[in-house]
Amino acid sequence: MNPHSVIFSAVLSFLAFLGEAAASQLFQLPTANRAVLDPSGSEKAFAGTTGHSWNSGTFGCIRSGGGKFHEGLDIRCMERNRQGEPTDAVRSTADGTVAYLNTRPSLSNYGNYVVMRHSIEGLEIYSLYAHLSSIQPGIETGRRVKSGEQIAIMGRTANTREVIPKERAHLHFEINLVINERYALWHAKNMPESRNDHGNFNGRNLIGIDPWKLLLEQQRLGTNFSLLRHIQTQPELCRVLVQGSDFPWVRRYRALRERNPIAEREGIAGYELVLTFNGLPCRIIPRAASQIQSKAKYSILSVRSEELSKHPCGHLLFKRGQIWTLLPAGERLLNILTF
């Protein structure tokens, strides 16, 4: 081979590698702010709350001294118009379908927001983009959208009395699983006194994973990244045994089910759910009647106290004397999950 063709074929294989790398990226950044991919985090990447560091713009128990949960990332604005308003393009993080739009900011502290539905490795997953100034024309429920396609423009909309200040302009970005597709019915039956303006896309029915961790792990593992594995290996807070052989979560998230030969032989009488600090059932283990001790509808099998003290904002359970008990939020989560 002459030197030119060596270089030519090297360039070709590099381009093929780039193409492959791009194709294998399950999730793209929702804005042009690439500082989000810096594992050490920075002011450039995240907009913290007023008077607090960038850290308060990340996912987890990072507000009110750890007691309050922030379900997403507040990705800082990069482009502004002459009035200082954010103009960053907001793009779908993956191929998907528009699941829900809220275009009446007064109805949500998320202001204008879009929820996209994605089907990845057998998992139904929902990305959410909030505080938008506007949604792109043609973005309507049911519309198919390509990964990286612009769906909106960043903004500062919210229904809170205090508006989001210009200097804090950001995209609030979440990655969620939906707890129950019959949520709207559950809400009408169990919380008739409170309005539900968003049907199944009520915040109570969405349960998130940390988008920053996900993006960093994808960056680290490249083509070896698996969303399924990422979810199954979320840190465990507790295990709860739920009676019953069939409920929406175990049906919709079959991919999270593990094998249990005894239950397969004897029949499934319940499920052991591994919950994260914010209540995500990240692993589902079928159990036979012979493997279930309690008669209660739900029973707590184990709790990792160090995980609980690391994340004090979950409010799912507490220890009364020597006994672990579900708090109202934990009880409600299991009620919705099994409704």
Footprint on this chain of Zn ion (rule: CB under 5 A): 74, 172
For residues 77 and 240, which CB has a smaller minimum distance to Zn ion in the complex?
Answer: 77
CB of 198 to Zn ion, least distance (A): 17
Find the residue with minimal CB distance to Zn ion: 172
Total residues found in the chain within this entry: 339
CB of 281 to Zn ion, least distance (A): 24
We find the least distance from the C-beta atom of residue 58 to Zn ion, in angstroms, to be: 9
Q: What is the closest distance, in whole angstroms, from the C-beta atom of residue 127 to Zn ion in the complex?
A: 14
If the CB atoms of residues 113 and 249 are measured against Zn ion, the closer one turns out to be 113
Angle of helix 328-338 versus helix 183-190 axis, rounded to 10:
130
Q: Which is nearer to Zn ion, 172 or 311 (CB)?
A: 172
Q: What is the DSSP string of 182-196?
A: THHHHHHHH-TTS--
DSSP codes of every residue in 43-72: TTTB-PPTTS-GGGGSSEEEEGGGTEEE-S
CB of 191 to Zn ion, least distance (A): 24
Please enumerate in sequence order all residues whose Cβ is within 8 A of that of 6, keeping only pairs 6 or more positions apart, or say none.
none
Can you tell me which residue has the tokens 């204008």?
112
Burial of 75 (0-12, 13-18, 19+ CB in 10 A): buried
Q: Residue 254 and residue 286: Cα distance in Å, rounded?
A: 11
Q: Which of 285, 276, 227 is nearest to 257 (CA)?
A: 285
Alpha carbons 7 and 1: distance in angstroms, whole number: 10
Report the residue number, 52 or 220, with the smaller CB distance to Zn ion: 52
Least distance from Zn ion to the Cβ atom of residue 170, Å: 7
Where do runs of H (alpha helix) occur along 222-324?
Answer: 227-232, 248-252, 261-266, 305-310
Task: Give the nearest distance from C-beta 126 to Zn ion in angstroms.
Answer: 16
Residue 235 makes CB contacts below 8 A (sequence gap 6+) with: 276, 277, 307
